[in-house]
Amino acid sequence: MTSLPAFCRDHPWRLRAAALGLAAAVVGLVQAFAPQLLHTVEEVSGDAAWRLAASDVPERRVVVIDIDEASLDRHGAWPWPRPTLAALSQRLQEAGVAVQAIDLVLDATRPGDAELQESWRRSPVVLGQIFSLDPQTTPQVGHVVGAVATAPGTTAGSPDPDRGSCPPFAPLSRGHIGNAGTVISTGSVAGHLTPSVHADGVVRELPALICHQGRAYPSLALATLWRAAQPDDAQAPAPDWTWRAGTGLLEPAYLLTSPSLPGIQVPVDAAGQLRVPFRTARMALTSVSAHKVLAGQAPPAILAGTVALVGATAFGIGDVAATPLTAVAAGVEVHAQLLSGLLDHRVPYTPRHAAIGQGLAMLLIAGGLWLVAVRQRGAPAKRLPIAGAALAALCCAAAYWALVQADQWWPWAGPALYALLAASALATAEHALARAQRERLSAHLGAYLPAPVASRLMASEPSGQLQVQRRPISVLVADIRNFSAFAQYRPPEETAALLHAFYCVAVDVVEQHGGVVEHIAGDSVLAVWNAYADCAEHAQQALQAGKALLRETRSLLARRPDPTHGHLVQPLALGIGLESGLAVVGSFGPARRRSHAALGVPVSVASRLQQMTQDLSMPLLIGPQMASQLPPQSTEPLGDFLLEGLDSPYTLYGAADAAELVPPEDLWVSAPATGTDEAADDPWPGGQRLTRRLAVLAATPVAAATQHTTPSPRDA
């Protein structure tokens, strides 16, 4: 019937569970062997989220002091003389900035370093420095400063000698580019400018702390935030950032805190990265040209109390990075966005139990798809792909909301991929189940209707119209004699078993001879030929089927009565009527309840001929229309008879080999010696009486037989 295993076809939940499990296995394989694929999808969608949610509200707390093209035109090419940088720092101090963060590294000694060093010593300044995280790149230039004060928290450090007192999440530095010692003063604060560049070249994260020679150094944004909290007139101590592991379900892997900044907790992921919140549109970042500051033309209200980020955007200086907001941006923008997020206490992070969240999301997706699949209304195979796409979109939308509103970065591509794969797998499973059900229904339909009719119904829409066609057909009607009496005295199970066996034999015989069983009711079978497919010799095939049916059912119907009860049960026998002619074949009735049948004279005549078989002591009778289509030597006329319900006599025929169709004597039940008449216990009556009857008919001319054997209406 179908290639679908029975344990799945009979228990659909097993197939659905296998589909969901297969989808989960595929997602697991992708996450294990191609995690970058899902990671890239998430990062690209995160970039789109930042672009959509970027605020146009001007950022006034962080001001970029831009060494732009106009500044280079006024003060010459980069690098500027040290006195110019000292003057810039002095102007910013006079404007009242809270802290100056230098997004530049002055690694070479130049004239005027002492003047610049003194200017920076008098101002709250955070220097920039760069670390190399690439083992193949190991520069050793300048000096690094600004390490955290002590081994923080409760962690005593790592057994790795390269880490010393560094936290376990801090990436290791392989080299450094620091400032020249001539511009660094005692107690200088510095922050690293090292970005984390993703595979697509976009900067989305920065290491919170970098471990260099066993000591941890904070990023420029963290060092600037800490320095802004220190008194302006005091020599700044070493940064006092501490860390601890996250404990809550939705907490990050690690949290950075500082006694100088009570209430501030900076989330850090397991790799030690700070995810930069690009919440401010680029045009909303406040920027002042450095030459205006040097010229005293910068509005004091813009600079007072702000964090001044001194950086370069001029073409050719080389401080360029790709960000989620644009493909080409100055590196200072990254630090400005991170500082803005730190000031708002809104730095996105990945919860430490994000994997559990992914698993729960997949379970919810599986449950939702399961409900869609088991819903009875509609076609699940059509609904499931739509539901899967909707759930995948919901995962993306939930991740967008969590990032923009809740400052949480949830990996969503895995559950979204699972939604799509699980929906596709379930849709395939439901299609297979539906196909198996249709095949099973078709098989059942073919068992209750003729196979051609069942096939036509499966291929067409329900209709309430009359659907018939007129065809020349041959009809066989077979009925078990004395079955009612047999059923009265035999157990119902035995009666049902007998009917089952009879139906099986009848269907096999009819189909072997090219016919179609049209109707089965009670102990009778109606079969037709040439009704659904052309059959040139349908009359002859119907006759051969009738003969074969008599032979095949001899042993089946040779049942003896139970001698234990006192009732004589007449022997069972088979009577068959055959006729040909024009009839209509088709479907009738309203669309909600149809009936299929063959209607016409040959059907009526064949049914009545079957009833006449017992009266004429013949197992098989043939109507005149069929006899005219058979070879003359294959039939023998029996005379004209008036059939019940019909108003004109019909010439009936028997098979020329009728004697061979009568069961042998040992298959017939002999009546007990009770003095009853022989005909009382013989179904035709049988045996010798039938032989004598055939001998009389053979010796009688056709005309005479017609004249003397025509019964009266009352006798008929």
Share above pLDDT 90 across residues of the chain, in percent, rounded to a whole number: 61
**Which residues are CB-contacts of 472 (< 8 A; sequence separation ≥ 6)?**
530, 538, 580, 581, 582, 583
Give the tokens for residue 435: 């196909």
Least confident of 64-68, 271-275, 675-679: 675-679
Q: What is the spatial distance between Cα 32 and Cα 623, in angstroms, rounded to a whole number?
A: 79
The pLDDT value given to residue 507: 92
Judged by DSSP in three states, 143 sits in: strand
Per-residue confidence at 346, pLDDT binned at 50, 70, 90? very high
Q: What value does the mean pLDDT of the chain take?
A: 84
Q: Do the Cβ atoms of 130 and 105 come closer than 8 Å?
A: yes
Question: pLDDT tens digit string along 575-633?
Answer: 999 999 999 887 777 766 666 778 889 999 999 999 999 888 889 999 999 999 999 89
What is the average per-residue pLDDT within 256-263?
91
Least confident of 27-41, 342-356, 656-670: 656-670
How do the domains of the chain map onto residue ranges? 6-33+353-448, 39-343, 466-683
Per-residue confidence at 683, pLDDT binned at 50, 70, 90? very low
Least confident of 106-115, 319-328, 406-415, 458-467: 458-467
What is the average per-residue pLDDT within 325-341?
94
Q: Could you tell me how far CA 215 lies from the centroid of its own chain?
A: 51
- C-alpha R_g of the chain: 50
> What are the C-alpha distances in Å from 483 to residues 322, 551, 570, 571, 680?
93, 18, 9, 9, 15
Which amino acid is located at 61 in the chain? R
Which amino acid is located at 621 in the chain? L
pLDDT at 687 over 70: no
Per-residue confidence at 676, pLDDT binned at 50, 70, 90? very low
Point out which residues pair with 309 in neighbouring strands.
Answer: 64, 101
The pLDDT value given to residue 644: 84
Tell the residue number behind the tokens 């802290």, with chain if given: 99
Which has more pLDDT, 255 or 187?
A: 255
The pLDDT value given to residue 587: 75
Question: pLDDT tens digit string along 476-534?
Answer: 999 998 888 888 888 889 889 999 999 999 999 999 999 988 888 888 999 999 988 88
pLDDT at 706 over 60: no
Per-residue confidence at 405, pLDDT binned at 50, 70, 90? very high
The pLDDT value given to residue 519: 85
What is the average per-residue pLDDT within 230-258?
85
**Which residues are CB-contacts of 180 (< 8 A; sequence separation ≥ 6)?**
106, 107, 108, 109, 110, 113, 142, 143
The pLDDT value given to residue 663: 67
Sign of CA dihedral 584, 590, 596, 602: negative
Give the tokens for residue 541: 């095939």
Give the tokens for residue 344: 């708002």
Q: What is the spatial distance between Cα 662 and Cα 587, in angstroms, rounded to a whole number?
A: 38
Give the tokens for residue 285: 């970042």
Closest Cα partner for 223 from 244, 203, 206, 202?
206
Which amino acid is located at 76 in the chain? G
Strands (E), 195-330: 196-197, 203-207, 209-212, 215-218, 242-245, 254-257, 266-268, 273-275, 285-289, 307-312, 320-323, 326-330
pLDDT at 151 over 60: no
What is the average per-residue pLDDT within 644-660?
86
Most confident of 364-378, 416-430, 568-582: 416-430
Phi, psi (5° rounding) for residue 636? -135, 130
The pLDDT value given to residue 1: 42
Closest Cα partner for 452 from 476, 432, 469?
469
Per-residue confidence at 442, pLDDT binned at 50, 70, 90? low
Does domain 466-683 fall into CATH 3.40.50.720?
no
Tell me, what DSSP letter sits at residue 531? S
The pLDDT value given to residue 441: 67
What is the average per-residue pLDDT within 368-385?
82
pLDDT at 659 over 60: yes
Instruction: Give the number of other CB atoms < 10 A from CB of residue 249.
Output: 10
Which has more pLDDT, 667 or 68?
A: 68
Phi, psi (5° rounding) for residue 14? -65, -45
Tell the residue number behind the tokens 């055959």, with chain if given: 578
Q: What is the spatial distance between Cα 505 and Cα 549, in angstroms, rounded to a whole number?
A: 8
Tell me, what DSSP letter sits at residue 713? T
Judged by DSSP in three states, 49 sits in: helix
How wide is the angle at C-alpha 660 spanned by C-alphas 658 and 664, nearest 5°? 125
Which amino acid is located at 99 in the chain? V
Q: Do the Cβ atoms of 11 and 374 come closer than 8 Å?
A: no
The pLDDT value given to residue 448: 63
Q: Do the Cβ atoms of 612 and 711 come closer than 8 Å?
A: no
Entry field: residues in the chain: 716
Q: Please, what is the angle between helix 82-95 and helix 113-122, to 10°?
A: 20
Closest Cα partner for 495 from 509, 485, 508, 505?
485
Q: What is the spatial distance between Cα 618 and Cα 695, in angstroms, rounded to a whole number?
A: 13
Question: pLDDT tens digit string along 174-195?
Answer: 999 999 999 998 888 999 999 9
Kind of pairing between the strands at 595-599 and 524-529: unpaired
Point out which residues pair with 146 in neighbouring strands.
Answer: none
pLDDT at 336 over 60: yes
Which amino acid is located at 585 in the chain? V
Q: Please, what is the angle between helix 538-552 and helix 492-512, to 10°?
A: 150
pLDDT at 715 over 60: no
Tell me, what DSSP letter sits at residue 548? H
What is the average per-residue pLDDT within 103-128?
93
DSSP calls for 393-418 = HHHHHHHHHHHHTT-B----HHHHHH
**Which residues are CB-contacts of 177 (< 8 A; sequence separation ≥ 6)?**
105, 107, 129, 130, 131, 132, 139, 141, 142
Per-residue confidence at 535, pLDDT binned at 50, 70, 90? confident
| Percent helix, percent strand, percent coil in the chain, to nearest 5 | 40, 20, 35
pLDDT at 567 over 60: no
- Distance spanning both ends of the chain, measured CA to CA: 49
Q: Between the CA atoms of 311, 316, 321 and 325, what dihedral angle is there, to the nearest 10 degrees?
A: 80
Per-residue confidence at 646, pLDDT binned at 50, 70, 90? confident
Q: Do the Cβ atoms of 159 and 171 come closer than 8 Å?
A: no
The pLDDT value given to residue 133: 94
Judged by DSSP in three states, 106 sits in: coil
Strands (E), 296-380: 307-312, 320-323, 326-330
The pLDDT value given to residue 684: 40
pLDDT at 6 over 90: no
Least confident of 70-74, 361-365, 475-479, 646-650: 646-650
Kind of pairing between the strands at 326-330 and 320-323: antiparallel
Q: What is the spatial distance between Cα 638 and Cα 651, in angstroms, rounded to a whole number?
A: 7
